[in-house]
Amino acid sequence: MSAQPGRKIYPEDTMTAEERLAAVVRLEQPDRVPLSMMLYYYNPFHTGHDMSEYMSRPEVYRQASRKVYEDLGPWDIYYNINPISRLLYSFAMMMRYLYPGIELPDNEMAQVDEIEYMKPEDYDAILEQGYTFNDLRFRMRMLPRFCNDAEGVSPARLWPAMARDFFLQRRFWKNDLDWCRQKGLVMQIGMQAEMPVDLFSMARTVVPFSLDLFDRPEKVRRASMRLAPSFADFMIRVARLMGTPRVQCYCHRTSNSFISPRQFEELAFPSMEEIVCRIIDAGMTPILHCDGDWLKNFPVLRRLPAKKIILQLDGLTDIYKAKEAIGDHMCIFGDVPADKLVLGSPEEVDETCHRLIEEVGKGGGFILAGGCEIPYNAKPENLKAMTESVRKHGYYPSRS
């Protein structure tokens, strides 16, 4: 497929999707509000494919995702969450995944089986290592403890398997990138991973990690800081290889839903700041995927560089209050509620999108999207209403 630079999504557009995204990250007002449809688990239900085939066969994923785009599109930003290897996905997200067709029935979504695979002494092991490749070595040391595909596999066999799967993933993403360019889309993710403190919380599980916050808080902070430079450098290298200058950083466990604002500021923010600044210095855009309630953390997040970051929010953070609190500092991404997409009507979805565009999108700095991934059981007519809303309501008054 040949690239088509300069292709517009709609005839009324005066900017490309890439230009539009760059403008909203800088908190400027583009020609219209951009749209990201974070579709993954929805796709096979829409097209009638088995989830097990969709997740294990790249050609089925490609067929399903393209069909959904043709049926419900267009949009600006393509959510390329298409891991072709459970081993590689486990390495990035550091969670035990149960897959349909393996541990689960064919048509169930993948599930996370949260187990305590990291022990208190592993903080010491991190601190005993230097900074070079520390994050990479930590992940590879942990992988056989929780990943079904790595359990019992020696490092001599694990490294070649990871390299093989990375090559296949890069080739697959290259195909996606070519398709995006042909359609005039922007690819959302160059690399993705759990932030260090969030990773510790997942690896220790909720109760043991909650105790760590009181029993060994300094080790949590120091260990996350020891991982931060190599974490950022590895994410940057991979994003460059993938050809997409955006790094999605998952903050699943550092919201006010899990830890206090003081714990966030003292224990989690130092490593976050190190990582975010390194990504920005590399000329890339950090995407902070902030699940949970983040309102009380916004004063601290304002210490991060302005007009450089995308802040993804889900339904637990009031996105309208977020616009007031931090919308002059970061581009806000979200948040059409999942319940509206599943249970509402197209008219209700359109009304919700219209309000988001008018209020959160006021002045620019806004990407319309779901709060997280689009629910697998969303109504297709509601998703179509969401995609059409940016054309109906999203254009800003033209500026001379």
DSSP 16-46: -HHHHHHHHHTT---SB--BEE--STHHHHH
Whole-model pTM above 0.75?
yes
Q: Whole-number mean pLDDT of the chain?
A: 94
**Contact between 110 and 98 (Cβ < 8 Å):** yes
Task: Order the strands of the 77-78 sheet from edge to edge.
Answer: 36-37, 77-78, 186-187
User: Residue 63: which H helix or E strand, with range?
Assistant: helix 58-72
CA–CA dist 400, 388 (Å, integer): 26
Please state the rounded mean pLDDT for residues 331-349: 97
pLDDT at 399: 55
pLDDT at 302: 98
Please state the rounded mean pLDDT for residues 171-180: 91
Pairing of strands 97-98, 111-112: antiparallel
3-state secondary structure of 54: helix
Please state the rounded mean pLDDT for residues 7-18: 95
Distances (CA, A) of 218 to 48, 127, 134, 261: 50, 11, 18, 16
Name the residue type at position 249.
C
Query: For the chain, what is the radius of gyration of the CA atoms?
Result: 20
> In the 8-state DSSP scheme, what is residue 318?
-
Binned at pLDDT 50, 70 and 90, residue 25 comes out as: very high
Binned at pLDDT 50, 70 and 90, residue 258 comes out as: very high
Binned at pLDDT 50, 70 and 90, residue 24 comes out as: very high
Least confident of 76-90, 219-233, 343-357, 373-387: 76-90
Q: State yes or no: pLDDT of 398 exceeds 90.
A: no
Please state the rounded mean pLDDT for residues 142-159: 92
Comparing CA positions, the residue from 250, 168, 245 lying closest to residue 202 is 250
- SS3 track for 330-384: CEEEEEECHHHHHHCCHHHHHHHHHHHHHHHCCCCCEEEEECCCCCCCCCHHHHH
**Contact between 52 and 72 (Cβ < 8 Å):** no
Distances (CA, A) of 24 to 87, 278, 285, 329, 380: 35, 21, 12, 11, 27
Binned at pLDDT 50, 70 and 90, residue 2 comes out as: very low
Model confidence pLDDT, tens digit, residues 346-385: 999 999 999 999 999 999 999 999 988 999 999 999 999 9
CA–CA dist 24, 7 (Å, integer): 19
Please report how many Cα atoms fall inside a 13 Å half-sphere around the Cα of residue 197, on the Cβ side.
29
CA–CA dist 238, 400 (Å, integer): 40
Binned at pLDDT 50, 70 and 90, residue 104 comes out as: very high
Please state the rounded mean pLDDT for residues 63-74: 96
Number of Cβ within a 10 Å radius of residue 275: 27
Q: State yes or no: pLDDT of 1 exceeds 70.
A: no
| Domains of the chain listed by start with CATH number | 17-393 (3.20.20.210)
**Contact between 328 and 27 (Cβ < 8 Å):** yes
Model confidence pLDDT, tens digit, residues 276-307: 999 999 999 999 999 999 999 999 999 999 99
DSSP 203-234: HH-HHHHHHHHHHSHHHHHHHHHHHHHHHHHH
pLDDT at 5: 55
CA–CA dist 84, 170 (Å, integer): 10
Q: Which residues pair with 77 in a beta bridge?
A: 36, 186
175: tokens are 């195909």
Binned at pLDDT 50, 70 and 90, residue 6 comes out as: confident
**Contact between 347 and 354 (Cβ < 8 Å):** no
pLDDT at 111: 95
Please state the rounded mean pLDDT for residues 71-96: 92
3-state secondary structure of 313: strand
Q: State yes or no: pLDDT of 201 exceeds 50.
A: yes
Please report how many Cα atoms fall inside a 13 Å half-sphere around the Cα of residue 328, on the Cβ side.
3
